[in-house]
């Protein structure tokens, strides 16, 4: 029995695809093992959102060959689609598979016999099939892929070049997948995609809509909680917000990319909204779900971002009632419009600005946590043990800590949030270990 190990770089979508490909190997009789367990085959699923992701791929290849010198190394994912020839020249790489080929790697590589490096990466226009995927057994929660690709043309982004046009499965099949996942004992499913809110395009035509997907999933009794991983502000309709506010399964947690608080920068990025629309969405959420968690993606150091424009973003975010920030330092990506734009921001200034926003994020997160002290919620405990303590997340994405009890793993428990510890984690008291708080009461309560 050959041993295969996986390493995933990047987003939740990549995790869902790696897990599904792993199950394909197991069904064919391979033993899925840890990365350090001297595997015969390494599958490295790559990201290429930033230059660091490319460098990380090279590092992982070196580590793989140090662990198992005679192993077969195959590279898949976004970096593989964008730069297949460059990757094929990395010492130790045996095969590179693009977006259309990665789900066929068992058929394409067959017995994984070493030889000349294989490059199997067709033009991205051929990536027009939706390959269903979900993660399982890797974490307490499952990432369910509901959408792939993107039809947007943001000037900084390579994802359309790496994953192709927007495409989805049917609602009926997504519901069937959720039921199947629920029957394995998983309590929480995170919906993920490249442009999740654009769900519903099949064979190049819009057939369904995201709002109808979440309404259908809300009826799946086998899953206790659904979480939306990320959704563009222009696709986050009032109907979606209102539905989540009344849902018994979709939790009060939104992650909404902003990228910049400056309208001038948003136009340069070719985003499909301005700051006023974003402000309106946050206000709508806060009106219906005062204690909802709201995360924000921000890009710092985009070409042309002057001190004044950065300060516009900083002050906008300071006033915005959100819970945390994901801060990305802009890096030039080949074949994007932004890479050739004038007035590049020096790297030392990019790093300074990123640090400022990360500090702001910590302040906002702490303020949000403090706001929830003495409130009740429901925690899904994880198998994440350190110094005899375990952790988990509430509906509104507050990480809590409590003494470890094996029986609590992958279980939901009603808790009262009591105080923050010195690490900024929420300590809790259990109210009813076998009962689950009513989600509707949790969201609309003040």
| pLDDT bracket for residue 442 (50, 70, 90) | very low
Find out whether 168 and 130 touch, Cβ atoms under 8 Å. yes
Q: Do 73 and 165 belong to one domain?
A: no
Q: Do 21 and 49 belong to one domain?
A: yes
The residue with tokens 């660091």 is 52
Q: Do 142 and 204 belong to one domain?
A: yes
Range of the domain at 226: 128-251
Span 348-393, pLDDT tens digits:
999 999 999 999 999 999 999 999 999 999 999 998 788 899 999 9
DSSP character string of 377-426: EEEEE-S--BTTEEEEEETT--EEEEE--GGGTT-EEEEEEEEE-TTSPE
Residue 82: predicted pLDDT: 92
Is residue 334 situated within a structural domain? no
Backbone torsions φ then ψ of 167, nearest 5 degrees: -160, 155
Q: Do 169 and 233 belong to one domain?
A: yes
Alpha-carbon distance of 251 to 159, in angstroms, equals 28
Q: Do 77 and 144 belong to one domain?
A: no
CATH code of the domain in which 11 resides: 3.40.50.2300
Tell me whether residue 190 is exposed, middle or buried, using C-beta atoms within 10 angstroms of its C-beta: 0 to 12, 13 to 18, 19 or more: buried
Question: Is residue 445's pLDDT more than 60?
Answer: no
Residue 433: predicted pLDDT: 53
The stretch 61-88 carries a mean pLDDT of 94
Q: Do 83 and 13 belong to one domain?
A: yes
* Model pTM score: 0.92
Helix (H, G, I), strand (E, B) or coil at 311: helix
The stretch 44-61 carries a mean pLDDT of 82
Q: Do 161 and 231 belong to one domain?
A: yes
Question: Is residue 174's pLDDT more than 60?
Answer: yes
Show which of 91, 126, 161 is a domain's final residue: 126
Alpha-carbon distance of 78 to 97, in angstroms, equals 10
- Tokens found for residue 177: 């997948």
Q: Residue 107 to residues 52, 102, 104, 219: CA-CA distances in angstroms?
A: 31, 10, 6, 37
Q: Residue 24 contacts by C-beta under 8 Å, 6 or more apart in sequence?
A: 103, 106
- Tokens found for residue 12: 């939740």
Residue 139: predicted pLDDT: 67
Question: Is residue 340's pLDDT more than 60?
Answer: yes
Q: Do 133 and 239 belong to one domain?
A: yes
Find out whether 282 and 294 touch, Cβ atoms under 8 Å. yes
The stretch 51-66 carries a mean pLDDT of 86
Q: Report how far apart the first and last C-alpha atoms of the chain are (Å, whole number).
A: 57
Alpha-carbon distance of 155 to 173, in angstroms, equals 34
Span 215-249, pLDDT tens digits:
999 999 999 999 999 999 999 999 999 999 999 99
Q: Residue 167 contacts by C-beta under 8 Å, 6 or more apart in sequence?
A: 128, 129, 130, 147, 148, 149, 201, 202, 203, 204
Show which of 83, 107, 126 is a domain's final residue: 126
Residue 336: predicted pLDDT: 94
Percent of the chain with pLDDT over 70: 95
Number of structural domains found in the chain: 3
Q: Do 32 and 139 belong to one domain?
A: no
- Tokens found for residue 64: 């793989």
Residue 11: predicted pLDDT: 83
Please provide the size of the chain in residues: 446
Q: Do 112 and 153 belong to one domain?
A: no
Is residue 149 situated within a structural domain? yes
Is residue 290 situated within a structural domain? no
Q: Do 91 and 148 belong to one domain?
A: no
The stretch 81-88 carries a mean pLDDT of 92
Is residue 54 situated within a structural domain? yes
Show which of 71, 94, 126 is a domain's final residue: 126
CATH code of the domain in which 388 resides: 2.40.50
Residue 441: predicted pLDDT: 45
Q: Do 112 and 56 belong to one domain?
A: yes
Is residue 287 situated within a structural domain? no
CATH code of the domain in which 224 resides: 3.30.750.210
């Amino acid at each position: 029995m050959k041993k295969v190990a996986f390493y995933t770089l990047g987003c939740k979508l990549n995790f869902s695809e790696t897990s599904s490909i792993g199950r394909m190997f197991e069904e064919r009789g391979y033993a899925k093992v840890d990365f350090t367990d001297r595997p015969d085959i390494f599958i490295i699923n790559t990201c290429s959102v930033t230059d660091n992701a490319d460098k990380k791929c090279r590092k992982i290849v070196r580590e793989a060959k140090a662990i198992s010198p005679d192993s077969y190394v195959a590279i898949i994912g976004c970096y593989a689609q964008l730069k297949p020839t460059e990757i094929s020249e990395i010492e130790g790489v045996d095969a590179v598979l693009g977006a259309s080929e990665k789900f066929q790697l068992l058929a394409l590589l067959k017995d994984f016999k070493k030889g000349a490096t294989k490059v199997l990466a067709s033009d991205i226009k051929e990536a027009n099939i939706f390959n269903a995927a979900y993660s399982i057994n890797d974490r307490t929660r499952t990432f369910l892929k509901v959408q792939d690709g993107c039809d947007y043309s943001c000037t900084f982004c390579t994802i359309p070049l790496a994953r192709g046009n927007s495409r989805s499965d049917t609602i009926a099949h997504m519901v069937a997948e959720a039921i199947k996942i629920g029957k394995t004992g998983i309590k929480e499913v995170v919906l993920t995609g490249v442009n999740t809110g654009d769900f519903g395009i099949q064979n190049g035509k819009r057939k369904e809509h995201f709002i109808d997907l979440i309404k259908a999933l809300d009826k799946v009794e086998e899953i206790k909680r659904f979480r939306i991983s990320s959704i563009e502000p222009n696709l986050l309709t009032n109907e979606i917000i209102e539905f989540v506010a009344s849902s018994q399964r979709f939790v009060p947690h939104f992650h909404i990319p902003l990228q910049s608080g400056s309208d001038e920068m948003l136009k340069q990025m070719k985003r499909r909204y301005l700051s006023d629309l974003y402000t309106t969405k946050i206000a709508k959420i806060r009106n219906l779900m005062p204690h909802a968690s709201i995360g924000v993606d921000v890009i710092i150091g985009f070409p042309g971002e002057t001190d004044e424009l950065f300060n516009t973003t900083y002050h906008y975010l300071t006033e915005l009632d959100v819970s945390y920030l994901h801060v990305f330092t802009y890096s030039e990506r080949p074949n994007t419009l932004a890479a050739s734009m004038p007035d590049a921001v020096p790297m030392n200034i990019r790093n300074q600005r990123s640090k400022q926003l990360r500090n702001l994020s910590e302040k906002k997160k702490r303020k949000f946590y403090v706001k929830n002290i003495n409130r009740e919620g429901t925690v899904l405990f994880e198998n994440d043990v350190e110094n005899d303590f375990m952790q988990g997340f509430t509906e509104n994405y507050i990480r809590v800590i409590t003494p470890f009890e094996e029986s609590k793993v992958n279980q939901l428990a009603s808790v009262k949030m009591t105080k923050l510890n010195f690490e900024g984690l929420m300590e809790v008291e259990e109210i009813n270990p076998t009962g689950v708080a009513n989600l509707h009461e949790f969201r609309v309560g003040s």
